[in-house]
Amino acid sequence: MTDTATAALPIDLGNGPFAVTTRELARRFGSTRALDGLDLQVPEGAVYVLVGPNGAGKSTLIRTLMGLVRYQDGAVSVLGRDPADRGAEVRAGIGYVPEDYRVGYSWMTVGRLLEHQAVYHPSWDAEYARELRARYGIDPGRKCHALSKGQSRRVQLVTALAHRPPLLLLDEPTDGLDHVVRDETLSILSEYLADSPTTVVISTHRVYEVEPLVDHVGVLSEGRLLGQLPRDDLYGGLLRYWADVPEGWTGPGELPGRVVRRSGAARAIEWTVWGDRDAVTRGLSQAGAAVREVAPLSVDEAALALLSGREAT
């Protein structure tokens, strides 16, 4: 089953060009369907955030794109190649921050680990690596096993960025970072995006932390996309409508939009609807509701609405 059948929001981003695509991607672990007919489309140059609850398949998807997990069905293209049989070339173009924050070889020093990474990446920018290390306050003499979660994340970010890859796959990149370091990370990512044409896929369940960087959103649930669209489309098309309604109001027979979530009290409703703002407002008004306010949702709220709306049905 493909996403189109179940998605509440559009999932087709058109004709690209795409840095990453998957078609009907499937992967099971035993009887669990981690990826269940997933159609991912990440346009070149996009900052694409994958949102979803734990266990939605975000990490499996990213690891599949890295060639670390073998997929069972469908097709995958990363930077124009299939990671299943050209994994080395795919990985050469990717800066990867894994979900697991433990850094490589526990017994290595951070400095040696960075040297190790540099050997494997001919495009390693030593100057940039030094700059990042300084900004993150990383001590190269430290043993990897002695790093805290946040320090490990910083080292992983340095190794992901320093070879200046055209594609970044960041799995929970802000996990374990304190406010200051998270802020610094966003600033570093902004500069990275400004400096070179880059596609970024960020998986997180804390979208608000990276929201200002994001321009594409994919909401993932149970191995399937509930929606995949440019952030601006989401901003303009998925809106929350507050309206005063008469007692016992049952709603319009038909609304020119898709109701993603219904909530609110008896005489004051709060609906989240995907559709044209004016048409939906008119539809609600004609059904006897006095629309008081219409407001866009943050990516976080939008994802929550989609995910909880799904649970309700």
Binding site for other proteins (CB under 8 A): 29, 47, 63, 66-70, 79, 87-89, 91-93, 96, 98-100, 102, 104-108, 112-113, 116-117, 119-123, 144, 163-166, 183, 186-188, 190-191, 193-197, 208, 211-215, 232, 235, 242, 292-293, 295-296, 298
The rounded distance, in Å, linking the Cα atoms of 265 and 249 is: 11
- Measured from the CB atom, the residue of 135 and 310 that comes closer to other proteins is 135
- Measured from the CB atom, the residue of 1 and 29 that comes closer to other proteins is 29
Contact 163, 125 (CB under 8 A): yes
- Measured from the CB atom, the residue of 3 and 21 that comes closer to other proteins is 21
CB of 286 to other proteins, least distance (A): 20
How many of the other CB atoms lie within 10 Å of CB of 262? 13
**Is residue 237 helix, strand or coil?**
helix
- Measured from the CB atom, the residue of 3 and 41 that comes closer to other proteins is 41
CB of 170 to other proteins, least distance (A): 13
Strand partners, 81: 78
- Measured from the CB atom, the residue of 68 and 287 that comes closer to other proteins is 68
**Is residue 2 helix, strand or coil?**
coil
CB neighbour list of residue 226: distance below 8 Å, 6 or more residues apart: 3, 6, 7, 8, 9, 219, 220, 306, 307, 310
Q: In what order do the strands lie in the sheet with 238-244?
A: 257-264, 268-275, 238-244, 290-296
Question: Across 39-132, where does the E strand assignment appear?
Answer: 41-43, 47-51, 73-78, 94-97
Contact 257, 250 (CB under 8 A): no
- Measured from the CB atom, the residue of 139 and 232 that comes closer to other proteins is 232
CB of 6 to other proteins, least distance (A): 26
CB of 95 to other proteins, least distance (A): 10
Strand partners, 271: 241, 262
CB of 57 to other proteins, least distance (A): 14
CB of 1 to other proteins, least distance (A): 23
